[in-house]
Structure 1
Amino acid sequence: MSLRTFLLPDLGEGLTEAELVTWLVAVGDEIRVDQPVAEVETAKSLVEVPSPFAGTVAQLHGEAGQTLDVGRPLISVSPSGAADQAPPPVAPEVPDEGPAAPAAPGASDPDGEAYRQEEKAGSGNVLIGYGTPGGHAVARRSRRPRNAAAGTAAAPVAVAAPGSVSAASPAPALAIVPDLPAEAPRCISPLVRKLARESGIRLADLQGSGANGLILRSDVEGALAGNGPGSPTVTADSAVAEDPRTGLMVASRTPVKGLRKTVAANLAASRANIPEATVWVDVDATSLLELRADLKRRHPESTPGLMAFLARFVLAGLAKFPELNARFDPAAGNTAGGASITAYEGVNLGFAAQTDRGLVVPSVRRADTMNARQLDTEIRRLTASARDGKATPAELTSGTFTLNNYGVFGVDGSAAIINYPESAILGIGRIIDKPWVVDGALMVRKMTELTLVFDHRICDGGTAGGFLRYVADAIENPGSVLADL
C-alpha cells in the first residue's frame, strides 16, 4: 500500500520546532485535504495544522505536550480503502535529541531535496493556515536516515509480518556521530549551535550528554536554566524530594516549554547580546488627557484610546530619530564580514500584550502610515487575536520598535528588557495625580514616567535623550507636534 507521511513543515520566521498541543483526529479517522489534524504552539501562537493528504489516518507521530522538530514525521495517511488491504508499516522511533546528523559536505540527499522542493510547490504554508494551493494534495517523501560520516543512505527498515515479533532484529541506526577532535566542542546540530549562540552560551563550556560527549539541545537548555553538570534534572514527573541546593522540600517541578520556553530564550538572548542603557523622564500628561476627554464628548464612538495617541507620538519621534528603529547585526549585511546596523524604511510598531498564556508582542505593520484612529483599530484587533492565541508568526516576530504600557499593572517604572533582536523599547508608567510645579506655582497634575531602554551600540545618549524628550513634549503639549503627525 502507499502510506504517505506528512512531515512538520518549515515554519518560517526563524522557527525550528513546535509543541504538539492536541490531536484533532485519531487513528482510523477518514480525513480530507486541508482538514486540520493537530493544533501546535509556535511563535507564541496556537495554530491548526491541516493535512495535505486525504485518506485514513494510519499513525500519529507524537503525543500532546511533545516538542517536534521541523522535518520530523507528524502524521501518516493511507489512501481510502488501503487500510483494509495491508497493515501499516512499523515506523522507527524518532529520538528526542534533535534532528539527524547532517551529511558530509558534497553528499546528496535526494529525498531531503524533494521534500524542500515539494514544500515550495505544495503545502509549504500549512502551518500558518494557508493550506495547499487549490486544495490539491501534494505527496511528500520521508527523509531516510543517513550515515553522517559517509553520507550514504541507511539500510531500509524491515516491516514485521502481522503478529510476528523479532526480538533479535537490531534497531535502525538513525545517525552515526562522527569522531570530532577532542579539543573541539562536540556539536553537529545547527539548531543546537543556533540556540547556544542566541542564548550567549559557549559550547566549549558544556559537557555533552550524548554519544561520545555530543552536545544535545537538552544540554544547552539545561545550561540556560542554570542546571549545570551534576545539578538535579528538573522533570515533570520527578519525585517530590528535598532540594540539596536549598535544603527545602520541592513543592512542584514545571517543565519550561511552549510559550514560556520561547519567551525565556528571547529574554536570555537580549540580556546576553545587547549592551543596553536606560533613560527616563517624568511627564505631565494633563493636556493630553483633557484633549482626549474633549474628543470623547464630541465623538464618543470614534475617539481613539490613549495607547493610540502615544503610539502616534512615538512614530513621529522615530521619524526624527530613525537610529532607534534599527537593528545591530554582529556579522551580517557587510561584505567585509564585520558588524553592521540595519535601518528600515517604515516602522512595525510592537506593543506588549499580557495574555493567559504569557506575554506576547504583536506588531502593527507599517504603523508609520496610519493615523491615530487606524492605529487604535489595529491595536485592538491584534490584542484580541493575541489573547485568543490566533496571532500569526509574522504578527508576533516582525516588530522593529516596542511600546510597553506597564502602567496598566499599577506601576510607575520598569527596567524593561529589549524585545530581541530589536534595539529599543519605550515603557509607560501609570498616570496618577502628583504635585507638580507649573509656571512657578504648585499644582496637582496627571503625571506619568517614560522609560527608554536602548542598545547603546546603535546610538549614543544624545539620540536616545532627544527621542525621549520629543515624545515627552508631545504628551505635555499635543498641539506642538501636529505638523509631524
Structure 2
Amino acid sequence: MSVRTFLLPDLGEGLTEAELVNWLVAVGDTVVVDQPVAEVETAKSLVEVPSPFAGRVAQLHGRAGESVDVGRPLISVETAADATAGAGPAAGMTVSGSGEAMAPAAAVGPTEAAEAVVAAAAAGAAGASAASAASAEGEAYREEEKAGSGNVLIGYGTPANGQSARRSRAPRRGAAAAAAAGPAAGSDAAGSAPTEAPRCISPLVRRRARDAGLRLTDVSGSGPDGLILRRDIEALMVAPAGAIPAAGAVPGDAGTAATPADTGTAAAPTDARTGLDVASRTPVRGLRRTIATNLSRSRSLIPEATVWVDVDATALMDLRADLSQQGQDVPSLLAFLARFTLAGLARFPELNTRFVPAGDVGGERSRENTGNGGEGQQAVIEAFDGVNLGIAVQSDRGLMVPSVRRADALTTRGLDTEIRRLTTAAQTGKATPAELSSGTFTLNNYGVYGVDGSAAIINYPESAILGVGRIIEKPWVVSGQLAVRRLTQLTLVFDHRVCDGATAGGFLRYVADAVENPGRILVDL
C-alpha cells in the first residue's frame, strides 16, 4: 500500500486560499476516483472537491472552518501499491544517498518542503545523523497518478487514457534536523535567544506579520517543526496585547467566532474605548471579506452621487394582475423592472460603462491606440457592447450579485427565467465565479425587506446601481384628485466621473415613466 496526498488545487478564480466548510468523508472511509470528499468555500462560490485517488482515507488535513492555502495538503488516501513497486524501494519509502531504503516519509506540500530547506541551512552544523533525520521528515511531496476518469477539477485533472501522470521533486532536507541536532541547533543550553532564522517562508505570512507590526522571532509556529502559518499571525492580531501562544500550540480555529479569550480559557479582553469586555471576535474572511473589500474600495475610489424619484406603480401592478387572470405565466415584478432598466441603459449607455483610473489601462488595447502603451498613463471610460445585468441576492453566505449575461438580448420572460435560476444558484452556493463577477450594471430590489429606499453602494468596478423600494398604498394626486395609489421609490447611485446629473436624471425618469406607463413602453421593446 502507498499513501498519496492530494494538494488543494487552484480553483481557477485567481484566489490563493479556500475555507474548508465540510468534510464529506471520514478517516477509514473508502473513496473512488472523482468522489466528492470536501466542500470548500472561496470568496466567490461553494465548490465540491473530488478525490483524484481511489482507496482508503488515511488522513484529513484540516478541520471544518479552517482556511487551506492552494497547494497545501487536503486529504491523504491509502491506495494499492504500484505495479512496479517490486522494481525498487517500496511505495512511500525514501532512499538515502547510499541507496539504502529508509522509513516512509511524511507527504508534505511545497511550503513545508521549502521551509525544510531554510531550517536545514540554519542548522547545517548538526552532522550527518541530523541530515538523515531531516531527509526522512522533510522529503518533498511526491505524487504519482496512474488511471482516472478524465474528469477535470479546475486546476487539476485525472488522465483519461490510463497512462501514468507523474510529478516528482527532489528530496530536500527537512526542519527535523534542528530537533535531531539537540539544543545547539536552535538555542544554547542556557536558553539564550534562538540562533536560527524564523521558520517562515510564505510571502503572504511575512506581509501580514509586517502589516500587523509583529516580529516573526516572537511568533511560535503551529505548523510542522514550528513552521509559522498564517493562522499564527491572525491569532496574535486578535489576541490581547502581549499574548504570545505557547510553542507548538495551535491557534483557535480561524473559521469560528470564538478566540481563546472567547472560550473562557483566558480572561476576556477589555475594549479600551468603552471599558466593556469583548464578548467575541469574528474573523472577517471568505465571502464576507470579499464583500468588505469591494464595498470599501467602492466608497473610497468612486465619487458617487444619488438621485431618486417616487413612482406610481399602479398601472404595472394592474398589468400583471390582468395577465394572471388570463391564465398566462406572468413574469415577476423584478423581470419587468429589469426590462425597463435595460431599455433605459439603451437610451443612456453612459451608465453601462467602467471608469479605469490612470495607470490601469494596459495590454494590447493601450498599445494599439498609442503605439507605445502610453494610454495606460491616463484614465479612460470603457463602454460595453451589451449589458450583463447584476441582480443583488441575499443568501446565507452574504450578499451576492450574479449577473444575467447579455441581458439586453433577452425577452421579459427570458429575463424572468434567468433571474430565478441565478437567484437559486446564488442562495445555494452554486453560482459560478464568472456569474458572480461579470456584471456591468446592478439592479437591487431591497423593497422585499420592507424598506422604502436606500443609498446603495455601487458594486465596484461598475458605475451605477438602481435600487427599488417596497410598493405600498399611499395617497397620490391623479388628475387633480386625491387617490390611493401603489407607490414605490427608485434610487440611482452613479459614478459622477462617467456622467453628469442630467444623464443620471434622464435615465431614472425614463425607467420611472416605464413603470407608470408599462403598456406604452413595452410596445417598443
Normalised-by-shorter TM-score class:
0.7 to 0.9
Query: In 1, distance between residues paired with 2:198 and 2:6?
Result: 19
Query: In 1, distance between residues paired with 2:243 and 2:199?
Result: 29
Q: In the alignment, which residue of structure 2 is the partner of 1:399?
A: 439
Matched residue type, 2:283: P
Q: What is the correspondence of 1:85-484 to structure 2 with a 5 Å cutoff?
A: 89-91=105-107, 123=152, 125=154, 132=158, 134=160, 139=165, 141=167, 155-157=172-174, 166=180, 168=182, 188-189=203-204, 206-211=211-216, 236-239=259-262, 240-300=268-328, 302-330=329-357, 331-333=360-362, 334=366, 335-336=373-374, 337-338=376-377, 339-484=379-524
Q: In the alignment, which residue of structure 2 is the partner of 1:62?
A: 62
Query: In 1, distance between residues paired with 2:259 and 2:348?
Result: 48
Q: In the alignment, which residue of structure 2 is the partner of 1:181?
A: none
Matched residue type, 1:237: P
Please report the TM-score for the alignment, with normalisation by the length of structure 2: 0.70
Q: In the TM superposition, what is the alpha-carbon distance from 1:258 to its structure 2 partner?
A: 2.9
Indicate the RMSD between aligned Cα atoms, in angstroms: 4.3
Matched residue type, 2:300: A
Q: In the TM superposition, what is the alpha-carbon distance from 1:349 to its structure 2 partner?
A: 1.2
Query: In 2, distance between residues paired with 1:422 and 1:297?
Result: 39
Query: In 2, distance between residues paired with 1:55 and 1:17?
Result: 26
Matched residue type, 2:261: S
User: Alpha-carbon deviations, 1:152-191, whole Å to 9, x = none?
Assistant: x99333899xxxx9584979989777xxxxxxxxx954x9
Matched residue type, 2:31: I
What count of residue pairs does the alignment treat as equivalent? 430
Indicate how the Cα distance of structure 1 residues 383 and 435 shifts in structure 2: closer, same or farther if over 3 A, else same. Answer: same
Query: In 1, distance between residues paired with 2:232 and 2:499?
Result: 36
Q: In the TM superposition, what is the alpha-carbon distance from 1:60 to its structure 2 partner?
A: 2.7
Q: Percent sequence identity over matched residues? A: 63
Matched residue type, 2:172: A
Q: In the TM superposition, what is the alpha-carbon distance from 1:132 to its structure 2 partner?
A: 4.6
Q: Secondary structure of the residue that 1:316 maps to in structure 2?
A: helix
Query: In 1, distance between residues paired with 2:109 and 2:258?
Result: 21
Q: In the TM superposition, what is the alpha-carbon distance from 1:50 to its structure 2 partner?
A: 0.9
Indicate how the Cα distance of structure 1 residues 91 and 264 shifts in structure 2: closer, same or farther if over 3 A, else same. Answer: same
Q: In the TM superposition, what is the alpha-carbon distance from 1:311 to its structure 2 partner?
A: 0.6
Greater relative contact order structure (CA < 8 Å, 6+ sep): 1
Q: Which 5+ residue runs of structure 1 have no aligned equivalent?
A: 101-110, 116-120, 145-152, 178-186, 197-202
Query: In 1, distance between residues paired with 2:337 and 2:279?
Result: 43
User: Alpha-carbon deviations, 1:191-222, whole Å to 9, x = none?
Assistant: 998xx9xxxxxx99x454253899x9789999
Query: In 1, distance between residues paired with 2:232 and 2:355?
Result: 28
